[in-house]
A and B are shown apart, each in its own frame.
Chain A
Amino acid sequence: MTHGIRTVFLKELIDTLRDRKTLIFMLLVPTLLTPGLIFGIGSIAINILKQNALSPVVIAADERTQQLYRQMVFDEFLRSDVGKILKYTRSPLVAYFVGPGALNDMMKTVPPMALRDPVEFEKWTRAMTANAKETLVGDVQLGGAYDTISEFHANQSPANQDMMNRMGVALFDFYALTVRGLGLVDFVDPSRISTDAKYAVKDLPFALSQQADGAKIYGAIQSREIQGFMIINNDLSSLAERKDQTAEVIFYYDSTIALSNEANSRVHGVVDRASMGIVKERVQNQKLTPNFLTAVEMRKGTNLASRSQITMEALGGLLPYLFLTFAFLGAIYPAIDLGAGEKERNTLETLLLSPVTRTEIALGKFALIFSSSLVAALLGVLSMSLSFVYLVPKSVADQLEFHVDLMTGISVAMLAIPPAAAFAGLFLAVSIFARSFKEAQNYLSPMGLALILPAMAGMIPGLEMGWIEAAIPLVNVSMLSKEFLKGNIHWGYYAMTFGSCFAFAAVCLSYCIFQFRREEVLFRS
């Protein structure tokens, strides 16, 4: 019995290893997909970051509005912690950090002492640099040494520059920030808008028609010449004193255009912050404490899940999704080749006329497809793990803190076995049933789509693992590996997962053997 299985297996192994298509899907795709994705997504993310965070949006506004906006930003800036420091140091402060949010995060961690004393502040920044990953601030350079970002860049060590490039670090200098208006806005005079009106604008308010030609502006947004149009109707100065007055800012934009939407949120942010600063001053002027504004506050840091669990809840579904996909890819081509391929090449009859039993033939073929699927899945997981360790920028990887011990790692890797068995059985059965290569492909390709559902089970929020889920082949693999990664070890479900997938594979295998025994398998035409 084993002799026949081994003979069939070894022959199919040689045959498969010489098939370029199978090799690509079994070895190359699983190995290269994750690094490719990381590089791809990484560079796209960096590009988006650069484009959105660094490039100012262009907003049209008349001279007066521009001035008022700058005033608002400057006042707001002076009210901010950074502004307070700048007041002391009176020098350009250059910092680089990942993403726009990092600045705020950084400022939150500045101790009060450091805020009052520039020397203390510098000490603090040096200390921060030492454990930079904590706050995402790579380095903070303080003092008058560098006037511009390029100068700052030029004075960094090659290793530092390399690191900045690799991390896709966004560079901000506080001067540019203040001058351009913290929200990174460039203004143009409405009279300079060149685009001819393409659309008639009926219902722009009266105020707009006083400032500029409404239709012209809408056309300019459509043609991407500007991203929005701003009007500030009221004087913004001493609003803190004029405590019953509300100034009005109007911003016209088109939410269906990404950059225009972005412009709106930047302007919104600036206006909200400025407004809040003024409100705080008003509150203080009334001899009230800032607590006046916050009656009830939610305490931070009450999430009891570990960081590892939080990360895995978010990302744990991705791993089974990928390895189910790899197992699928690793199985599909050999399955087509070993089943329908025998008919296509007219080799099935001679094979069936050899004295090995049909069971041996089916098992030998199954073993090869199973191995191919398993190799693909394991290679995929291995490549993914290595990619995460070596390719993901450290700053990102540190955010995704998780802990997987060896035992869990091995248990999860072994979860590649049940789907490989299930796929091998199912695909071989379908492939043997099919009359030709093409027919087999037609049957099997849609299964790739059908697979997405069970594979994503681990990513569906709110779906909890139970005995029923553990009994559904593939769904159980997806959900269980996520649970294991989160640290919820449940050997009962584990056994159930193996059992149900193997049972499924066994049913498929019996069908294969049944097909091989049927006369019609040879002569269906």
Chain B
Amino acid sequence: MIEVENLTKSFRDRRKGILHAVKGVTFASKPGEVFGLLGPNGAGKTTALRIISTALKPTEGRGTVMGFDCAREPEKVRQSIGFLAANTGLYGRLTPRETLRYFGSLFGMGHRQLDSRIEELAFAFAMTDFLDRPCDKLSTGMKQKVNIARSVIHSPEAMILDEPTTGLDVLTSRHIVEFVRKCRNDQKTVLLSTHIMSEVKRLCDRVGIIHQGQLRFVGTLTEFEAAHGSDLEEAFINIVGGPVP
């Protein structure tokens, strides 16, 4: 369960003065549901997700994950979320196994528990072949798998994915798609951001359309189609280009 209420984040920008990257955003994402934050470049998606993942403190409003306040109980929130961004890197000289062990250990997992979890993940993501090769030597697809496995090493209740498929080819992004579907089946809460309309259609149950830091629409896909017609692309452009409600 992820809930945000009146979330606002302002940056002090030397040239533009105060910049509201996120402004009064409110939405909720429930277990077993995929919530898609859809918006163009610079809309404030990353900022919103970073506040929820505790990397940033909100200027106003609050976010909670599984009932823990993101600003006041960041350790508990971090334990409950898995975070993955498209540009997340790996330590090139470590092997996938070592990477998983490192993060598992950071999350306080014991040796034996970790070993069996790594076996489990290696099997689930078909990583057994390259589990002991340095990450530097892996293909982008392999790295993506390692990154996904890394983000769920501690079996989080909620997943936060920032434009997870950006820069990936069709085959590689399928890993992500399958992963998101599996999370939904496992009754996890999934919050993802994207600027690709079709991805929302393919993955999401509910959608929030964000533009210039503000939510312009929140609802299920069916509600969205009912309100704005079945051509999602067109509807999106209308909303983004239209006046703030």
Contacts and interface: CB of A to CB of B under 8 A. Distances in A.
A345 B91 contact: yes
A232 to B, nearest CB: 75
A354 B106 contact: yes
Contact of B102 (A11, A345, A355): A11
B93 interface: yes
Contact of A18 (B83, B93, B108): B93
B224 interface: no
Contact of A350 (B56, B57, B75, B103): B103
Nearest to B92: A345
A345 B85 CA distance: 13
B54 interface: yes
A7 B151 CA distance: 17
Given A346-B89, A347-B89, A350-B88, A7 B105 contact: yes
B88 A7 contact: no
A11 to B, nearest CB: 5
Interface in A126-147: none
A354 B77 CA distance: 10
B150 interface: yes
* Interface class of chain B by DSSP: loop
Contact of B106 (A7, A18, A345): A7
Interface in A1-32: 3-4, 7-8, 11, 14-15, 18-19
Interface in B41-59: 53-57
A347 B105 CA distance: 16
Contacts of A244: none
B203 interface: no
A14 B83 CA distance: 24
B23 interface: no
B91 A347 contact: yes
A355 B106 contact: yes
Interface string A336-363: 0000000001110111111110000000
Contacts of B102: 7, 11
A19 B150 CA distance: 22
Contact of B108 (A19, A351, A355): A355
A151 interface: no
Which of A4, A11, A18, A350 has the most chain B CB within a 10 Å cutoff? A350
A167 interface: no
Given A355-B79, A355-B107, A355-B108, A349 B55 contact: yes
Contact of A346 (B88, B93, B106): B88
A519 interface: yes
B90 A354 contact: no
A212 interface: no
Interface string B75-101: 100110101010111111110001000
A355 B89 contact: no
Interface of A: 3-4, 7-8, 11, 14-15, 18-19, 345-347, 349-356, 519, 522
Sort A-B residue pairs by CB-CB distance and give the 7 closest, nearest first. A346-B89, A354-B106, A345-B89, A18-B93, A7-B105, A11-B102, A355-B78
Interface of B: 53-57, 75, 78-79, 81, 83, 85, 87-94, 98, 102-103, 105-108, 134, 150-151
Given A346-B87, A355-B79, 16 more contacts: A7-B102, A11-B91, A11-B105, A14-B93, A14-B98, A18-B134, A345-B89, A345-B90, A349-B85, A350-B83, A350-B103, A353-B53, A355-B78, A355-B106, A519-B55, A519-B56
